[in-house]
Structure 1
Amino acid sequence: MRNITTLNIYPVKSCQAQTLKEFNVLLEGPEGDRQWMVVDDDSEFLTQRKYPKLATIQVNWSDAGLSLGVGKQFFVVPRENKFLRKISATIWGSTVEVALEPDLVSQAVSQFLGISCRLVRSGPFTVRDPMVRFPDSLPVLLLNTKSLEDLNSRLEIPVGIDRFRGNIIFEGEAGYEEDTWNRIRIGEVTFSKPKKAGRCSIVTIDQKSGEARGPEPLKTLAGYRREGKQVNFGVLWVPENNGRVRAGDTVNVLS
């Protein structure tokens, strides 16, 4: 039936996932997903690739705003704040306008990571092409549990699907069937313009402890999922419309 098993957002890029029973999908991605990111003193974005401890920063996004657990410190950032100072930041070579969150939060993140950095948020003033906030490329990442089962059958130590930081996780009928689809519908939303998701060293990081666990599963994936310079797992999609997606919904393959 290809039912949706899990829905995740990542309110702060490279930080903890927040699992939901349902979410709104906007043209730029799931509502609340990757609305914030951490940047260094040069306003360059930071990720788990270099700072794996980001994975352990606790997040909860709600109508009240963003709750952050940074080590033993906890903060609440309002959902909207018109008075934040705007700066320019860089993400994957693109310069975007962002808003600086209060110094107190940034100081806590800096102390936790051991590097001077700042928490910034996106807004209507943040323009990227394609229309996204702070994901690496396209708005929505779809993962298939059957594909993970195939990968784990090749590993000495199985990994969880959380290593791959997907938004929509479904139980497929066959591993990697998602690679062949061109257009799908889930709940109220139609998705198109698929792009296979190239994987990096983040998949080697334990998402609970924030520790790198050696070369796997990237090493094994590279042995059978490499296409050119890219090692693929999962598929990125672009929403065609706004709508609601719920756990239990079915992935309907349109073409």
Structure 2
Amino acid sequence: MPTVVELISYPVKGCAGVPAAEAELTPAGLRHDRTFLVVGPGGVFRSQRKDPRLAVVRPEVSADGARLTLHAPGSAPLRLDIDFGTGSAARSEVGMFGAPYRAVDQGDGAAGWLSEVLGAESRLVRVPPEHDRVTDGLTPGTSGFADSSPLHVLSLATLDDLNRRIAAAGRPPVPMDRFRPNLVVDGWDAPATEDRARRVTVGGGVLGFAKLAIRCAVTLVDQRTGGKAGPEPLRTLASYRRVPEGGVAFGSKFSVLETGKLAVGDAFEVTEWGTD
């Protein structure tokens, strides 16, 4: 039986991941995942595509979920009480991939800290309580500020297959963190098995397949240094993982059908398979 070997959330979109031994699975994915967003002038979201230094910002959410701490090399930590936007608190207008959203600004202190760390005018915002985004795919769902579906699943077999191909071209392997998965699964012999899973029971939750994960320039960023490290993995992926809708696919996105608790070591049981 395949099992979950890593659980990673990304409280601030684009910033470093937070590994955990166990996590709560909410309708929007792992608890706290992509609930915060860094935006630039005009409320346009920042991404490692253009701001790779986001990778070195390490978020930490307190156990009670009320406080956020941000760490970055060479800077004193930023500690703030989270503004959840309850009551009649003002909303900011932000944009992500051309779509408008409302968000709760986290104040000038966070804005100043991020602007200094990133070297560009920035503000930190959070999803408001009324956030009701609907994501697309075979199984629709919801998420905070994730690109689309709330859970990204990637198997070790899929990464191993890629790295064998990269090694054959005489280039060094790429680590799992380049792909920023939420659940890493081990126990399958064949690569891309996650692409055929349509319904999954894992821990106390149930997942439904949404779509393949189309990869972008974020995979070229060294997640430890925040520097561009390409051309891999996109060069090799383009040789065997192109998809008809455009781009290259690697890993799969899932929506949450039933919430529950997840833990490293949980069985990843596929109860329904697709044919392609």
Shift of 1:80: 4.7
1:125 paired residue among 123, 127, 130: 130
- Do the aligned residues in 2 keep the contact of 1:30 with 1:140 (CA within 8 Å)? yes
SS of alignment partner, residue 253 of structure 1:
strand
SS of alignment partner, residue 251 of structure 2:
strand
Could you tell me which runs of 5 or more consecutive residues in structure 2 were left unpaired when the two chains were aligned.
Answer: 136-141
Give the 5 Å matches for 1:90-101. Answer: 90-101=95-106
2:76 paired residue number: 73
| One-letter amino acid of the counterpart of residue 45, structure 1 | F
| One-letter amino acid of the counterpart of residue 80, structure 2 | V
Shift of 1:169: 0.5
Shift of 1:70: 3.4
**Farther off after superposition, 199-208 or 171-180:** 171-180
Query: Following the alignment from structure 2 to structure 1, what is the Cα–Cα distance between the partners of residues 213 and 192?
Result: 12
Shift of 1:125: 2.7
Stretches of 4+ aligned residues off by more than 3 angstroms: 79-85
| One-letter amino acid of the counterpart of residue 93, structure 2 | S
- Do the aligned residues in 2 keep the contact of 1:196 with 1:235 (CA within 8 Å)? yes
Percent identity of paired positions between Structure 1 and Structure 2: 33
1:42 paired residue number: 42
**Farther off after superposition, 42-51 or 97-106:** 97-106
1:219 paired residue among 232, 235, 238: 235
Query: Following the alignment from structure 2 to structure 1, what is the Cα–Cα distance between the partners of residues 30 and 114?
Result: 25
| One-letter amino acid of the counterpart of residue 78, structure 2 | F
SS of alignment partner, residue 90 of structure 1:
strand
Query: Following the alignment from structure 1 to structure 2, what is the Cα–Cα distance between the partners of residues 39 and 237?
Result: 26
Shift of 1:82: 4.0
- Do the aligned residues in 1 keep the contact of 2:152 with 2:181 (CA within 8 Å)? yes
Could you tell me which runs of 5 or more consecutive residues in structure 1 were left unpaired when the two chains were aligned.
Answer: none
| One-letter amino acid of the counterpart of residue 146, structure 1 | A
Query: Following the alignment from structure 1 to structure 2, what is the Cα–Cα distance between the partners of residues 67 and 10?
Result: 13
Query: Following the alignment from structure 1 to structure 2, what is the Cα–Cα distance between the partners of residues 65 and 6?
Result: 24
Shift of 1:81: 4.2
| One-letter amino acid of the counterpart of residue 117, structure 2 | F
Query: Following the alignment from structure 2 to structure 1, what is the Cα–Cα distance between the partners of residues 210 and 164?
Result: 26
Q: How many residues align?
A: 255
- Do the aligned residues in 2 keep the contact of 1:39 with 1:45 (CA within 8 Å)? yes
Shift of 1:77: 2.4
Give the 5 Å matches for 1:171-186. Answer: 171-173=186-188, 174-186=190-202
SS of alignment partner, residue 248 of structure 2:
strand
Compute the TM-score of the two structures, normalised by the length of structure 1: 0.96
Query: Following the alignment from structure 2 to structure 1, what is the Cα–Cα distance between the partners of residues 108 and 128?
Result: 19
Give the 5 Å matches for 1:144-223. Answer: 144-155=155-166, 156-173=171-188, 174-223=190-239
**What is the alpha-carbon root mean square deviation over aligned residues?**
1.4
- Do the aligned residues in 2 keep the contact of 1:106 with 1:118 (CA within 8 Å)? yes
| One-letter amino acid of the counterpart of residue 149, structure 1 | D
| One-letter amino acid of the counterpart of residue 72, structure 2 | V
- Do the aligned residues in 1 keep the contact of 2:48 with 2:218 (CA within 8 Å)? yes
Compute the TM-score of the two structures, normalised by the length of structure 2: 0.89
Q: Deviations over 1:158-196 (max 9, x none)?
A: 111000000011113121111111111111111113311
Give the 5 Å matches for 1:223-242. Answer: 223-228=239-244, 229-242=246-259
Query: Following the alignment from structure 1 to structure 2, what is the Cα–Cα distance between the partners of residues 47 and 99?
Result: 19
Shift of 1:73: 2.1
Q: Deviations over 1:111-169 (max 9, x none)?
A: 22121110111121323222211000001000101110111111120111000000011
1:110 paired residue number: 115
